[in-house]
Amino acid sequence: MNTKTIHQNNNTFPGFPHPANELIEFLCGIDFVVVATSTKLITRHNATDTSPFRQWLTSHGVPDITPLAGMAIIEIYTHIIK
């Protein structure tokens, strides 16, 4: 059984307290992932390698908003330095 199949079959991820069906979106940093839940909670998952966690999230259809967050930060930064 490959890793993708394992991730798709598990509604939970080791060391993360929220099931996949409660998650609405996420964004990634170098060694952390910030996740929004359907209960309006923002939580952080720390890991030296975020790839397995990201794979688990995306295999459950949780949208990765990292590119949007990056664009928002650039937009804020460019207004600050003007």
3-state secondary structure at position 50: coil
Q: What is the pLDDT of residue 67?
A: 86
Place of tokens 């170098």: 30
Chain segment 43-82, per-residue pLDDT in tens: 999 988 899 999 999 999 999 998 887 776 666 656 565 5
3-state secondary structure at position 9: helix
pTM reported for the whole predicted model: 0.75
Q: How many helices (H) and strands (E) does the chain have?
A: 3, 3
Contact 20, 37 (CB under 8 A): no
Domain boundaries 3-81, CATH class: alpha beta
- Is pLDDT larger for residue 24 or for residue 6? 24
